[in-house]
Amino acid sequence: MAKRFELIVFVWDGTLMDSTGAIVASIQAAARDLDIPPPSDERASHIIGLGLIDALRHALPDLPTERYQAVAERYRHHYLAQDQDLLLFAGAVELIDELTAAGHMLAVATGKTRKGLDRAFEVSGLGPRFQASRCADECHSKPHPQMLEELMAEFGVEPEATLMIGDTTHDLLMARNAGVAALGVAYGAHPRESLEAETPLYCAANVAELAAWLRQQA
């Protein structure tokens, strides 16, 4: 059967790696370090997927601009203290290998910095399986379509042959802005009802369900 999508672009945090809880806890700990009232779990998880400074502006909207960098530094301190213990979601490696064997080109579009993604690639061992990636310090932050536009240009793939897979509404909006189809995963940062409101092709409850859809539809 001919492939429907030549290029499949994954989000990293909350879609391939089970890191949502660590990100939320690190944002809250960073705020407490600086005597700033920490954001709620819901508010902190909503900003996952954005570039770090953009994320902090949303999570801590009343903070003076000049203090965001200090919060970012404390966030990195807390996150890096635990990121080597984070795990890929069960079945993620097998899914990526199956898609590669089926002939799909694979890429990552992430709110991480390049340094952060390279570290995650190394810790997880998954890096060599992706042919390209774009990070928040290289492109406009989601939901701007630049990450997807650059990846499609690099691979020479049209929007109709590209699929975005992510766990936040920021990811789904980026796909829409790029004219690209999208899948939501409801096991990451944003709740199913928020994802479904953006009308993705499908919203998977777990990696196994995602793999089954891709096997049949991609």
Please identify which residue in the block is written with the tokens 């802005």: 177
Domains of the chain: 7-18+87-217 (3.40.50.1000), 20-84 (1.10.150)
* Of 140, 138, 137, 118, nearest in space to 128 by CA: 118
Going by pLDDT thresholds of 50, 70 and 90, the confidence category of residue 83 is: confident
Alpha-helical (H) ranges within the chain are 20-33, 41-46, 52-59, 68-80, 92-101, 114-124, 146-155, 169-178, 192-196, 207-217
pLDDT per position as a tens digit, 17-69: 999 999 999 999 999 999 999 999 999 999 999 999 999 999 999 999 999 99
pLDDT per position as a tens digit, 186-213: 999 999 999 999 999 999 999 999 999 9
Average pLDDT over residues 172-194: 97
Going by pLDDT thresholds of 50, 70 and 90, the confidence category of residue 2 is: low
Q: Tokens representing 167?
A: 């766990």
Average pLDDT over residues 165-184: 98
Distance between CA atoms of residues 19 and 89, nearest Å: 9
What percent of the chain clears pLDDT 90, i.e. is strictly above it? 96
Q: Is the pTM of this model over 0.85?
A: yes
Per-residue confidence (pLDDT) for residue 1, from 0 to 100: 45
